[in-house]
Amino acid sequence: MLDTTAINQRMTRFDGHEAVWLFGYGSLIYKTDFPFLERRPAQLRGWERRFWQGSHDHRGTPDAPGRVATLVPREHALCAGMAYRITPATFAPLDHREKNGYLRLATTLTLDDGREVEGVVYIATADNAAFLGPASDQAIARQIAAARGPSGPNRDYLLQLAHALRELGADDPHVFALERALRELPLHAPA
């Protein structure tokens, strides 16, 4: 596992800012265990959400990694998520939370009121050590069903994200297909 904390702490682009917009597209949509000044739906252009990142530290273990969301570039794609206006001090706990291969990248995001703002997004790119890459929906669902880590079952991550996206009114064919595949597994059907 590559710990990206030190790399992310070298990003000084927003150090002098009073506040910065952070774009969340995975657990950051629904698990806000960090302070924020404002929260609002937002979109990121040119990226799509994929369960292609391994989770060795939260939703899996080094021996049995889970799968969590990252973003991959795709022309004309639009990724729905949640934007948080945070102080630069909030990056310290976020860097720790996102340390398993995610890098802080500057980006432009569109808030729900149509404003485009400069901000930050954590993305685990294909060249990080925990990147698992594409697989069939069924294979990803089986891996998610079997994985569990210190933050709980990987299954909960997927189901909570699907629920949060529905609450946002967002259509994400990849996430919803994985949710269906997970629910179709014999031992993991909803109670």
Residues that are catalytic = 98
Cα(177)–Cα(97) distance, integer angstroms: 27
23: how many CB neighbours lie within 10 A of its CB?
Answer: 28
Cβ-contact 83, 22 below 8 angstroms:
yes
Smallest CA-to-CA distance from 143 within 52, 25, 28, 26 is with 52
Query: What are the φ and ψ backbone dihedral angles of 153, each rounded to 5 degrees?
Result: -65, 140
Tokens standing for residue 34:
């960090």
User: Which residue from 168, 167, 127, 143 is spatially nearest to 41, judged by alpha carbons?
Assistant: 168
Q: 3-state class of 30 per DSSP?
A: helix
Q: Give me the helices (H) in 72-114, please.
A: 91-97
